[in-house]
Amino acid sequence: MIIRDATPDDAEAACAVLRASIIELCGADHRGNPDILGRWLANKTPEIVASWADGQDRSLLVAVEEGTILAVGGLAHPNEITANYVSPQARFRGVSSALVAALEQRAAALGAREIELLSTETAHRFYLARGYADVGIPAGRFGTAASYPMRKLIAPVG
């Protein structure tokens, strides 16, 4: 598996991973509610995902194995993880952990000393296990059960 910067050519496959991850793995968040899913998936189109790969104050990374995108991660520069979604077929293989580590490294290279994110209910324990701490009151996003503001100190590069 390699982790690399996404290109606009990755948009269709990356979008499919985002959508499948949300639909199939985030049931604790959307609870099968079509209205919540609709709001959450509204910006998960190939055109919008392609725009996220423009490198303009953000990074979009993909984890790829044998030409297949397994996971997609986003970073708003310098220090906010905006996406971390894994293909249902790649779940529990360490792909998300490797992607988060790459996002943290990118943030550190940009000078960040801490990284923040808004976790889903589904991913909350995942982030806690990787050293992130809750830093605010959980609130629903898109009508989901809860979104957890989290933060972690990271080591500077150099």
Q: What would the pLDDT profile of 85-121 be if each residue is shown by its tens digit?
A: 999 999 889 999 999 999 999 999 999 999 999 999 8
| pTM over cut 0.85 | yes
Query: Per residue in 51-74, pLDDT tens?
Result: 999 989 999 999 999 999 999 999
Q: Give the tokens for residue 6.
A: 């996404």
Q: How confident is the model at residue 142 (pLDDT cuts 50, 70, 90)?
A: low
pLDDT at 137 over 90: no
- Considering the chain, what percentage of its residues have pLDDT values greater than 90? 78
What is the pLDDT, as a whole number, of residue 158? Answer: 65
> Tell me, what's the pLDDT at 28?
86
Three-class secondary structure of residue 75 per DSSP: strand
8 Å CB contact between 23 and 88: no
- The C-alpha atoms of residue 84 and residue 123 are separated, in whole angstroms, by 9
H or E stretch including 85? strand 80-86
